[in-house]
């Protein structure tokens, strides 16, 4: 189970824009270099974030973008609702559902309960809660950690 790259990039674009807030505009170019990701993909991400009112775009040679709202008004759950194409965790959540058990089945309720628990965590946080200090965005790149997670509890037990 993964978030889309689109969501991952969107959150990182917002983090970077927040780190520059009030000092300078951010460009696609800078962001692509900073994170080592494709400009084409980032363009789509930035376009959506502008359309959704999270970023403000400035055209022209010296253009770029910046946060359109203070970080404490950018709710992470709401951002992910815009950037994830869907939350169709199982087939019966989708329009192509062909499962004959759909009506009596109790699986969708359980899956929805899990999904709601996750989204509640994201809904309880804003960009302000996860800001990275501006100094970490400049200078020599830090070596990335090979991986950070995920950190699931070791097992679900026997029952």
Beta carbon of residue 17, minimum distance to its own copies (angstroms, whole number):
13
- Which is closer to its own copies, CB of 40 or CB of 158? 158
Beta carbon of residue 47, minimum distance to its own copies (angstroms, whole number):
21
- Which is closer to its own copies, CB of 50 or CB of 82? 82
- Which is closer to its own copies, CB of 5 or CB of 47? 5
Contacts of 136 (CB under 8 A, 6+ apart): 19, 142
- Which is closer to its own copies, CB of 59 or CB of 106? 106
Distance CA 77, CA 12 (A): 15
**SS3 track for 69-102:** CCHHHCEHHHHHHHHCCCCCCCHHHCCCCCCCCC
Give the distance from CA 157 to its chain's centroid: 31
Tokens of 147: 């991986």
Beta carbon of residue 45, minimum distance to its own copies (angstroms, whole number):
13
Contacts of 102 (CB under 8 A, 6+ apart): 92, 108
Beta carbon of residue 14, minimum distance to its own copies (angstroms, whole number):
10
Contact 48, 82 (CB under 8 A): yes
Beta carbon of residue 59, minimum distance to its own copies (angstroms, whole number):
27
- Which is closer to its own copies, CB of 58 or CB of 105? 105
């Amino acid at each position: 189970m993964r978030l889309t790259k689109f969501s991952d990039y969107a959150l990182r674009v917002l983090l970077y824009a927040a780190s520059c807030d009030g000092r300078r505009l951010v460009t696609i170019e800078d962001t692509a270099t900073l994170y080592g990701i494709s400009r084409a993909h980032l363009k789509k991400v930035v376009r959506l974030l502008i359309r959704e009112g999270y970023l403000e775009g400035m055209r022209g040679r010296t253009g770029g973008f910046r946060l359109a709202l203070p970080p404490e008004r950018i709710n992470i759950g709401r951002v992910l609702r815009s950037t994830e194409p869907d939350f169709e965790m199982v087939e019966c959540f989708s329009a192509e559902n062909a499962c004959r058990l759909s009506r009596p089945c109790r699986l969708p309720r359980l899956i929805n309960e899990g999904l709601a628990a996750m989204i509640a965590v994201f809904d309880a946080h804003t960009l302000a809660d996860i800001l990275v200090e501006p100094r970490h965005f400049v200078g020599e790149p830090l070596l990335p950690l090979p991986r950070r997670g995920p950190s699931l509890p070791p097992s679900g037990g026997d029952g």
